[in-house]
A and B are shown apart, each in its own frame.
Chain A
Amino acid sequence: MASNIPKKKPVNKMVFMGLVSLALYGALLLNQDIINNYIGKGGFNAFLPIVTAFIFSFVHGSFTGNFWTVLGVEAAKKKKKEVK
């Protein structure tokens, strides 16, 4: 009955990614004038918002995923098998 063994919750990973995410948002909002100035120029600088979006989505996405897991909100076990 492997399913009855409680899984270890990714608390450390959640805290780490949460802190990195917080730092990213802090850096973005504290330097908003400089960042807006660069991005507002457009042209070649177009890669800046795209790269930023990818980095934020990776870090914050990992944090939010672990956040729900730590809270115990996970996918239904039965349905998961059915769909596959």
Chain B
Amino acid sequence: MHDIAQAASNFISLDAGNVIYLFLVGFVGGLVSGFIGSGGAFVMTPAMMSMGVPGLVAVASNMCHKFPKALIGAIKRAKYGQVDVKIGIVLGISAEAGVLYGAHIQESIKQRFGEAGSNLYVSVAFVVILAVVGIFVLRDAWKTYKSGNTNEEEKVTKLAKWVQSVNIPGTMVYFKSLNARISVLFTIPLGFATGMLAATIAVGGFIGVPAMIYVLGAPSLMASASELVIAFVMGLGGSLKYAMHGLVDIRLAMIILAGSLFGIQLGAIGTTYVKPFMIKVVMGVIMVIVLFSRGLMVPVYLSQLGLIETLSDGTTRLLKNVSFAIMIFALVLGAFIVLRAMWQGRRAEQLAAEEAVAHVKM
């Protein structure tokens, strides 16, 4: 409790530069979240910590901006008919359990191996999960692009077809995003894994969205939109937990929210202009770049744990800065792809409208 009180008294003073910085990071993070259902959060925590915010306060404040942002994003995308609230809530509840368990593992590792051990665990989880899932998602998007079938409806994977065919009496629930009944015995572990990842690397969606697409058989647009419901459920529960310990810096959370609500609306609008495989492109690109960012930090933590030769202060600082810069780059690139795809979609729509008018006049 002493640590908590100390952390709470560590609410930093804010100047105009900090406010603008948080607003901009919030905007870009919101834009990506509105489009792919998650993302952005992995930059918020280090961004706040780089301003001198204690780690726990940064995590808590990030969480407290996440749930209202996800709520607004989900409402917006529900207007476009993309949200399956039921799957979001069902996965969200089991994700909440995953968050608690993930946080417990984190605490145990921290107690046993210290701060460096905990950071190493987070970085290795980042690298391994993002390498496997990110490359898979990107490869799938590439295959769709190469096949020239980008306009066609997405095919349900063999795995998802099997999942949808399994009938376990008493556990079957109909989900509109899948247009099928599936057993909650499949959704519970997926939600749990999403929550565990959220507690570890702050972005549960990197598991949640691909799981909904490839394991359950949801279309990309509905999976990314329903992820916002999961993020809302998880974020609300997590925020309440941290707020009870007095760790939320509401100023930081609301300033990030100010920027992210501009971004999330734009990202949600963007989904109506693009082909579904673009969701996979943006998600895969961000995942693979972030994986390099975290990979660079592995030697730093290995050195701190004494498992490899000690790195000089200069090298450590260089690796930390490059890692942070790559993470920012991943987010900005994701935002750029979203805006570009949206711009092209709008241009195509305008041209089609002009052509239609010209045709009527003739």
The distance from the CB of B220 to the nearest CB of chain A, in whole angstroms, is 12
| Beta-carbon nearest neighbor of B342 in chain A | A73
Asked, given contacts A28-B250, A76-B345, whether A42 binds B243 with beta carbons under 8 Å apart, the answer is yes
Q: Are A36 and B251 in contact (CB under 8 A)?
A: yes
Q: Are B80 and A80 in contact (CB under 8 A)?
A: yes
Interface segment, one of B6-14, B101-109, B279-287, B330-338: B6-14
A10 within 8 A of B: no
Q: Are B221 and A83 in contact (CB under 8 A)?
A: yes
Name the one of A46, A60, A76 contacting B243, with C-beta atoms under 8 angstroms.
Answer: A46
> Chain A interface: which size bin?
35 or more
Q: Are B72 and A46 in contact (CB under 8 A)?
A: no
A25 to B82: give the CA distance in the assembly, Å.
32
The interface size of chain B toward A, counting residues with CB under 8 Å, comes to 45
Interface segment, one of B90-98, B262-270, B314-322: B262-270
Interface residues of B in 63-86 (CB under 8 A from A): 64-65, 67-69, 71-72, 75-76, 79-82
B214 within 8 A of A: no
Interface segment, one of B133-141, B154-162, B195-203, B253-261: B253-261
A46 to B338: give the CA distance in the assembly, Å.
36
B127 within 8 A of A: no
| Beta-carbon nearest neighbor of A66 in chain B | B265
A73 to B276: give the CA distance in the assembly, Å.
20
The distance from the CB of B312 to the nearest CB of chain A, in whole angstroms, is 38
Name the one of A49, A56, A61 contacting B239, with C-beta atoms under 8 angstroms.
Answer: A49
A75 to B271: give the CA distance in the assembly, Å.
8
| Beta-carbon nearest neighbor of B60 in chain A | A49
A84 within 8 A of B: yes
| Beta-carbon nearest neighbor of B73 in chain A | A61
A41 within 8 A of B: yes
Q: Are B246 and A42 in contact (CB under 8 A)?
A: yes
A69 to B79: give the CA distance in the assembly, Å.
14
Q: Are A39 and B243 in contact (CB under 8 A)?
A: yes
Q: Are A28 and B249 in contact (CB under 8 A)?
A: no
Q: Report A-chain residues with C-beta under 8 Å of the C-beta of B4.
A: 42
Q: Are A46 and B261 in contact (CB under 8 A)?
A: no
A79 to B79: give the CA distance in the assembly, Å.
12
Name the one of B76, B244, B251, B345 contacting A29, with C-beta atoms under 8 angstroms.
Answer: B251
Name the one of A47, A52, A57 contacting B69, with C-beta atoms under 8 angstroms.
Answer: A57
| Beta-carbon nearest neighbor of B11 in chain A | A36
The 10 closest A-B pairs by CB, nearest first: A42-B246, A57-B68, A46-B243, A40-B8, A61-B72, A75-B272, A84-B81, A76-B272, A46-B244, A79-B272
Q: A53-B250, A64-B72 are in contact. List 13 more A-B contacts (CB 8 A).
A: A28-B250, A46-B240, A48-B243, A50-B239, A50-B240, A53-B254, A57-B69, A57-B261, A60-B257, A60-B261, A75-B80, A83-B81, A83-B221
